Chain A
């Protein structure tokens, strides 16, 4: 088989011209992923449209009743407000026209001014909150995934290690706990029982938000607890997943053969076992990204972190229709982009994608 390998490849390269077969395979893969990305965004936005437009409650009337409940307003003024709000929310005209206006706004990233922080545009508010959430999510997801996969791989390979077994029990106990509960427990432990870490906000209030040493340190300090609650739960599930994958790979013939042939244990672990167990873990990461985002929303609210999660919850309390819709849309977009990035990285780990 090995002696036949070279001629086969060269014939393939000849047939497919300048672009090698692997390259074409990769492009086809990228095309499929992009199509899936467009579909996710399309269905997500349509869900948001259906929910907002099929509901029996009119957001315009709701906003008006919120405003008028504070005092007397002239009927003419209410009527004027009604017309302008209808226009603002894109609720005038036929259903088809409303649907088109909805898409036009989303593609133009224009959700109108925020009602609760009038007259700041919704997009500005989201733009301000997005870096906090993105930073928190990216760092904690990478740490949780990397650490969980590494420890889980070790636990699957060295099945008799006491410490790793204990870690498995802890992971199993931590992993099914909802984000909110764990965040609450951390808040109680580090906020009331042993108050050593800041439990609220994104940075110290008295610091200007510029790139100074003090500010960076303060941001990191404030991020510890929110990140920890995301990481603790994440590590558990990646640990369990990787351990299961590795304990299946370990029994494969090629691993047994490599061990018998005297390949160094570390090399067996890294290139024979871990490498082959990682692609499913990466798929798992892409699949669970939406769930991790849900967790981030909650964690942010619990710790008063100034990200889109807090923005979303506060917008609901304030009855700010444009802001809720804006955050929902942006989060659907953000998560789909994250999934797309992971999907495009996938062939780096699993070379088979390029050929198939």
Chain B
């Protein structure tokens, strides 16, 4: 593991930039624990102060310090992305491994359902979900439903690997040595698909955070929990751009773009590393 990280840092510029961006974002989110103000309190500092030495990122029209508010927002947004990624990984793994290993009609049925979830436009469904839940919408509930809707594409990738694993000799040996299907999938196949699971985690986080920002900006989430989208929502509510309070929108926007580009670059470099052809090209014979 350490050797892989060292190689990535040394030979892969994308990984270096991605890791740097994500480190900054992570640092900000850790700082949330040291915030002098509770996240939901308003009018704790003078409103509409531009960025200065006292208030690094300025203050909002609601009397909140943008810097400390941003730390909470990033922490919640990242936590949201991780939760969705974790749950949807489990679903994708189960469907992908079973479908690839079993084949036949199980595979056909699972993949038909899978392809359906890939193409369905999710935003209207999530908006409908918000419409019926209204005030009961919490971020955990949103994370749950997004995980239930967002596993399909990765399940297909995992299935492709599982199908090739099935043809390998060790699968036959495990089968003949009396292992159950569950044992073969968990003990023999799971380790081989883990690299894909890791790289799709990043992409899944980009996807779920993007949707969360979108929904929050429209006000279709629990807007009282500070998230990046929630901050932009409140800024829009107070017409920050027109009022000239640009820092209220600019800093969350910069933070979310950093998160996205960082996660995306990490996913790209990991894919480069997993694919033997590109690994040879960019890492040489070292690894």
Contact = CB atoms under 8 A, between A and B. Distances in A.
Given A248-B277, A313-B218, A286 B119 contact: yes
A56 B137 CA distance: 11
A55 B132 contact: yes
Given A172-B268, A324-B128, A180 B136 contact: no
A248 B275 CA distance: 11
B126 to A, nearest CB: 9
Interface stretch (B170-178, B188-196, B254-262): B254-262
A173 interface: yes
A184 B256 CA distance: 13
A287 interface: yes
A290 B149 CA distance: 12
A188 B134 CA distance: 30
Nearest to A178: B210
Interface stretch (B34-42, B63-71, B108-116, B160-168): B108-116
Interface in A1-53: 35-36, 39-40, 43-44, 47-48, 51-52
Contacts, number: 130
Which among A56, A57, A178, A294 has the highest number of chain B CB atoms within 10 Å? A178
B127 A312 contact: yes
A180 B260 contact: no
Interface string B218-243: 10100000000000100000000100
A30 to B, nearest CB: 16
A335 B120 contact: yes
B90 to A, nearest CB: 20
A332 B112 contact: no
A175 interface: yes
Nearest to B260: A176
Size bracket, chain B contacts: 35 or more
Interface string B181-212: 00000000000000000000000001001110
Contacts of B209: 178
B151 interface: no
The secondary structure that dominates the B interface is helix
A222 interface: no
A175 B264 contact: yes
A36 B112 contact: yes
A44 B120 contact: yes
A55 B130 CA distance: 10
A207 interface: no
B174 to A, nearest CB: 32
A281 to B, nearest CB: 16
Interface string B122-136: 111101111111101
Nearest to A175: B264
B104 interface: no
B31 to A, nearest CB: 23
B284 interface: no
Nearest to B153: A287
A289 B257 contact: no
Interface in A318-336: 321, 324-325, 327-328, 331-332, 335-336
10 contacts: A36-B112, A39-B113, A39-B116, A48-B128, A176-B206, A178-B210, A185-B253, A294-B123, A294-B214, A324-B128
Interface of A: 35-36, 39-40, 43-44, 47-48, 51-52, 55-57, 59, 62, 172-173, 175-181, 184-185, 188, 192, 248, 286-287, 289-291, 293-294, 297-298, 301, 312-313, 316, 321, 324-325, 327-328, 331-332, 335-336, 339
For the complex of A and B, list the 7 residue pairs with the smallest distance between their C-beta atoms, beginning with the closest. Answer: A55-B132, A176-B264, A294-B123, A178-B210, A176-B260, A328-B124, A290-B121
Given A57-B132, A312-B124, 13 more contacts: A40-B115, A40-B119, A48-B125, A177-B260, A177-B261, A184-B249, A290-B122, A293-B123, A298-B217, A298-B218, A325-B128, A327-B124, A332-B125
